């Protein structure tokens, strides 16, 4: 066995930190812990087989060192709220240094050396498919198609599909007419894919795969979900129409025009941080940053989509990765990345409407955005009274999971999973599912943004009329199950897909009491964590305008009052089931079971869909 060493905070250091500070950034590695007698812990780093014996107190403290910092910075974190003496600082520094030298940490320098490009990498040669998802918004679709013709180099696009999920026949007719008119002006064929085409593809697949009829209808059956919000169905069609190609997917209320970030920073970043925010004082586009020198978002998405991480670094101009790019990353994320890790999703920022269901998110923006907001009372009034802002990254940022943007790049040459067909939050579930299948892959968030301008503009909510009960059921439960990535060690995505299907069917066949308890705990965790966050923001808002303070206080009071409320079992679409009923739980149990079965059938569905789509839509130039 590797020799072990024991450390406690009682070490009496005689050497100051100044001469021993190490320049590199490091973080505690994902380690395995074995409890020993006398409150000690044997800690093992499975990546290098190094071991140490630490006291339980030290191990608990080191768990806080899971993001990349210098020695001094780690020590400062561990000293927060405690004894600030030099002796204590030196003692803690010696322990952290010993743990680092003992091999229980991950060095940012080593990660950078592993990911540095060793040769030039060019964007992949495959032409993308563009898909526009639309539903009963003909004015928005017409505006997007016109901007696509004006900005996008369609000669570098294989084909364009307009996937229309409209319920109103009049809107569907307008969408078809507008698509055909724009097709006449396009160098690349723009294809209208409406209800009739969707039905034909569904029936073709059922004829080819009669054993999977139920799964096909569940994943893409428009008639089955006519009374539900079914963006997931439309997105499943976008996947089936683009198998074997990269695809760039537009929401219909976006514009095909890339704008620079208003707060650009140099370099790159690996991070699990959320997007930054900036609130415009006016409701229109007057304060939007200038369009990029190359405003074509499709071409910009294709710069790195499908490349390995080193290849993307090379394209983004990072011949040598700086360790500071890892400052906001936790070790468990970057430890998995290697030279073969691929970028399966690319995202961009948003200008205009944030796309959120409520305005509650304004109180929880990252600290940098909050400081910027509190510096300008006029922006506070705007943040609370308008839906016009920038949400995005300040520099290209690699994240472990996708969250989806109004224009999203997807590398559909790999075995990507399907979307959950109905209800909100299907983007988040898809991001979790994709990460489950490809745990070493990454999502690249570009620093540029595109306008998101719903027609008509959405009205801001107020804390007085806003419901606390964000629908945590069933979406958050589904995401929790999918997030159990560590329970599957297989490398093959097909095997991981099978295991994920088992997880979903396990959830579907769990007792109703278990599902209700899981939802109760998810709901309670959400409420309590939000109250804690609001309290910290309120403490940081001294001197802010009274409207902001009142907004925070009312939010806290509303959540505190709801802390004892029963969890939300939300009504589903127009399905005639009362919220909170056993029938509603059974409805979702049935859907989780069907989604699990759909996952198992998905490879067959993808294979046959490619054959059908290639035969139905041969590559022809636009008339």
**How far, in Å, CA of 64 to CA of 489, rounded?**
26
CB-CB contact of 279 with 379 (8 Å): yes
Q: Which of 344, 331, 263 is nearest to 301 (CA)?
A: 344
Lowest mean pLDDT segment, chosen from 204-218, 338-352, 375-389, 463-477: 463-477
CB-CB contact of 428 with 475 (8 Å): yes
Instruction: List the structure tokens of 240.
Output: 């089936």
Tell me the percentage of the chain whose pLDDT exceeds 70.
Answer: 89
Q: Is the predicted pLDDT of residue 532 greater than 60, yes or no?
A: yes
Q: Is the predicted pLDDT of residue 31 greater than 50, yes or no?
A: yes
Instruction: List the structure tokens of 307.
Output: 């490349």
Residue predicted with more confidence, 566 or 161: 161
The residue-averaged pLDDT of 304-330 equals 92
Residue predicted with more confidence, 354 or 481: 354
Q: Which of 225, 136, 228, 223 is nearest to 574 (CA)?
A: 228
CB contact set of 201 (below 8 Å; sequence gap of 6+): 220, 237, 240, 609, 612, 613, 616
Residue 127 Cα distances to 244, 299, 301, 551, angstroms: 10, 10, 12, 48
- Give residue 296's pLDDT: 98
- Give residue 221's pLDDT: 95
- Give residue 241's pLDDT: 98
- Give residue 465's pLDDT: 58
Tell me the percentage of the chain whose pLDDT exceeds 90.
Answer: 63
Residue 514 Cα distances to 227, 481, 586, angstroms: 28, 13, 13
> Could you tell me the end-to-end alpha-carbon distance of the chain, in angstroms, rounded to an integer?
73
**How far, in Å, CA of 376 to CA of 330, rounded?**
32
Q: Which of 202, 132, 228 is nearest to 422 (CA)?
A: 228
**Helix (H) / strand (E) containing 519:** helix 512-539
pLDDT digits (tens, 9 = 90+) for 361-379: 898 899 899 999 998 888 8
Q: Give the mean pLDDT of the chain.
A: 88
The residue-averaged pLDDT of 174-192 equals 97
pLDDT digits (tens, 9 = 90+) for 81-90: 777 888 889 9
CB-CB contact of 496 with 417 (8 Å): no
Exposed (0-12), middle (13-18) or buried (19+): which is 8, by Cβ within 10 Å? middle
**pTM greater than the 0.85 cutoff:** yes
Residue 616 Cα distances to 42, 134, 204, angstroms: 62, 21, 11
Q: Is the predicted pLDDT of residue 285 greater than 60, yes or no?
A: yes
CB-CB contact of 547 with 380 (8 Å): yes
The residue-averaged pLDDT of 602-611 equals 98
- Give residue 18's pLDDT: 40
Q: Residue 398, Cβ neighbours under 10 Å: how many? A: 25
CB-CB contact of 609 with 170 (8 Å): no
Instruction: List the structure tokens of 77.
Output: 């974190």
**How far, in Å, CA of 133 to CA of 601, rounded?**
24
Strand partners, 444: 346, 398
**How far, in Å, CA of 614 to CA of 151, rounded?**
27
pLDDT digits (tens, 9 = 90+) for 87-127: 889 999 999 999 999 999 999 999 999 998 876 665 566 89
Q: Is the predicted pLDDT of residue 13 greater than 60, yes or no?
A: no
**How far, in Å, CA of 475 to CA of 419, rounded?**
12
What is the SS3 assignment for 174?
Answer: helix
Which pLDDT band, with edges at 50, 70 and 90, does 468 fall under?
low
Which pLDDT band, with edges at 50, 70 and 90, does 19 fall under?
very low
pLDDT digits (tens, 9 = 90+) for 141-158: 999 999 999 999 999 999
- Give residue 11's pLDDT: 36
Q: Which of 248, 240, 239, 252 is nearest to 164 (CA)?
A: 252
Which pLDDT band, with edges at 50, 70 and 90, does 559 fall under?
confident
Which pLDDT band, with edges at 50, 70 and 90, does 277 fall under?
very high
Which pLDDT band, with edges at 50, 70 and 90, does 565 fall under?
low
pLDDT digits (tens, 9 = 90+) for 477-517: 777 777 665 678 899 999 999 999 998 999 899 999 888 88
Beta strands in 129-281 (DSSP E): 129-134, 159-164, 190-193, 246-251, 269-270, 276-279
Lowest mean pLDDT segment, chosen from 7-21, 122-136, 314-328: 7-21
Q: Is the predicted pLDDT of residue 573 greater than 60, yes or no?
A: no
The residue-averaged pLDDT of 312-325 equals 91
């Amino acid at each position: 066995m590797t020799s072990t060493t024991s450390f406690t905070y009682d070490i009496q250091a005689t050497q100051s930190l100044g001469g021993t500070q190490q320049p590199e950034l490091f973080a505690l590695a994902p380690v395995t812990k074995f409890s020993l007698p006398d409150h000690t812990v044997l800690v093992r780093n499975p990546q290098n087989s190094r071991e140490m014996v630490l006291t339980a107190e030290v191990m608990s403290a080191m768990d806080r060192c899971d993001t990349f910092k210098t020695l001094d910075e780690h020590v400062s974190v561990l000293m927060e709220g405690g004894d600030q003496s030099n002796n204590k600082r030196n003692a803690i520094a010696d322990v952290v240094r010993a743990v680092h030298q003992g091999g229980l940490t991950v060095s940012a320098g080593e990660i950078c050396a592993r990911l540095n490009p060793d040769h030039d990498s060019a964007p992949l040669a495959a032409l993308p498919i563009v898909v526009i998802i639309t539903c009963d918004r003909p004015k928005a679709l017409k505006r997007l198609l016109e901007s696509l013709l004006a900005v996008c180099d369609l000669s570098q696009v294989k084909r364009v599909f307009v996937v229309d999920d409209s319920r109103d026949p009049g809107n569907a007719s307008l969408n078809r007419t507008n698509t055909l008119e724009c097709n006449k002006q396009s160098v690349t064929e723009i294809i209208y894919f409406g209800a009739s085409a969707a039905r034909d593809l569904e029936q073709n697949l059922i004829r080819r795969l009669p054993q999977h009829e139920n799964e096909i209808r569940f994943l893409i059956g428009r008639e089955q979900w006519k009374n539900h919000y079914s963006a997931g169905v439309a997105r499943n069609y976008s996947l089936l129409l683009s198998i074997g190609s990269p695809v760039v997917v537009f929401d219909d209320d976006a514009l095909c025009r890339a704008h620079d970030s208003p707060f650009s920073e140099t370099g790159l970043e690996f991070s699990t941080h959320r997007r930054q925010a900036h609130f415009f004082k006016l409701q229109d586009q007057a304060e939007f940053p200038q369009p990029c020198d190359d405003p074509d978002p499709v071409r910009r998405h294709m710069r790195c989509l499908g490349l390995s991480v080193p290849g993307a670094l090379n394209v983004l101009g990072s011949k040598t990765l700086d360790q500071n790019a890892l400052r906001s990353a936790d070790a468990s994320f970057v430890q998995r990345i290697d030279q073969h890790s691929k970028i399966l999703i690319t995202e961009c920022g948003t200008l205009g409407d944030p796309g959120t269901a409520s305005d509650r998110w304004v109180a929880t923006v990252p600290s940098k955005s909050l400081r910027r907001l509190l510096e300008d009372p006029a922006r506070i009034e705007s943040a609370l009274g308008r839906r016009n802002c920038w949400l995005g990254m300040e520099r290209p940022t690699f994240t472990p999971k996708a969250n989806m943007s109004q224009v999203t790049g997807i590398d559909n040459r790999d075995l990507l999973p399907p979307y959950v067909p109905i209800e909100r939050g299907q983007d988040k579930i898809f991001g979790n599912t994709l990460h489950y299948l490809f745990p070493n892959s990454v999502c690249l968030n570009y620093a540029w943004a595109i306008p998101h301008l719903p027609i008509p503009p959405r009205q801001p909510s107020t804390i007085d009329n806003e419901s606390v009960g964000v629908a945590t059921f069933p979406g958050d439960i589904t995401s929790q199950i999918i997030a159990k990535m560590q329970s599957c060690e297989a490398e093959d995505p097909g095997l991981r897909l099978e295991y994920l299907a088992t997880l979903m069917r396990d959830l579907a066949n769990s007792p109703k009491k278990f599902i209700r308890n899981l939802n109760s705990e998810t709901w309670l965790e959400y409420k309590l964590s939000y109250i804690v966050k609001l309290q910290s923001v309120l403490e940081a808002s001294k001197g802010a305008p009274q409207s902001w303070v009142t907004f925070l206080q009312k939010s806290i009071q509303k959540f505190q009052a709801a802390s004892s409320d029963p969890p939300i079992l939300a009504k589903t679409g127009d399905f005639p089931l009362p919220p909170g009923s056993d029938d509603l739980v059974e409805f979702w149990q049935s859907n989780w079971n069907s989604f699990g079965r759909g996952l198992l059938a998905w490879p067959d569905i993808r294979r046959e869909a490619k054959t059908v789509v290639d035969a139905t839509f041969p590559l022809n130039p636009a008339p």
